[in-house]
Amino acid sequence: MVLASFLFATMGVCVKLASAEYAPGEIILYRGLIGAALLFTLARTRRVSLKTRVPATHFWRSLTGVIAMFLWFYALGNLPLATAMTLNYMSSVWMALFLLGGAAMLGAARVDGRLIGTVLLGFAGVALILRPTIDHDQLWHGLIGLLSGMISATAYLQVTALARAGEPEMRIVFYFSLGGAIFGLLTTLFTGMHPHSLRGAALLLACGVLATVAQLLMTRAYSTGRTLVIASLQYLGIAFSFGYGVLLFADRVTWMSLAGMMLIVGAGLAATLLRARSNAPDTANAPLEP
């Protein structure tokens, strides 16, 4: 999980650099093509069938996941690296909010006050992180990053449904990558294709390879380790991104942004712990690309 978090943060660096030459849809297109090709080869090598009995569920999982990724890549290109990464990691807090909403709709007599505290803690962290961003007239980009985390949370539900249907992780990630390639191709019909440079092509290749390898490592971690421990280590991606941002992009270090990151990490871990202790489906056990 530590290595997966590092690779995801490194992929974020590549996406941010590639955003200077390509639109988000183009990056998703090449990332999807590379991922689908690698997973197809791996599935054939391990003799894992890619035929599915639940194509509709794969479609909705791919749609929500790709939209979340599109928004996240947009945020990565316009926000400090650690800020964009942290806002996307809000998915655990959004899941807690969804649980509260579901309990209210079902008329539950008692709503877990700890979940309410978790949600409030997470959004307090968001407010602290976006405060420096507002000063730079980038509030819109921050809201896009926040929305990417919310849609990522809905994609968790689809991954859980696929896992319950007996779909192996490799098949789930393959169709997600394939969906990304199709989505990226459709968006390029409107935005057009940018010419390649050696630097740009290398960044696109790195995005695809890093994301695919990191996804497989994270899947392995969740399948063999304890959920809460692995979820805790996953937040190292924020720390790696913060270091990259300071060293490579000269991102500002403020006490508000640091405090906000700590609040969101704490809220995410608390939400994961509360879900693990409840009898509700453990969505934290369903790996999803950030």
User: Domain residue spans in the chain?
Assistant: 2-285
- pLDDT 10s digit of each residue in the chain, 290 long? 899 999 999 999 999 999 999 999 999 999 999 999 999 999 999 999 999 999 999 999 999 999 999 999 999 998 889 889 888 888 778 877 777 777 677 666 566 677 778 878 888 888 787 775 555 557 788 889 989 989 988 887 787 788 788 888 889 889 999 999 999 999 998 888 999 999 999 999 999 999 999 988 887 787 677 766 777 788 888 889 989 998 999 888 788 888 888 888 888 888 778 767 764 444 444 444 44
Work out the number of other CB atoms within 10 angstroms of the CB of residue 255.
9
pTM, full prediction: 0.84
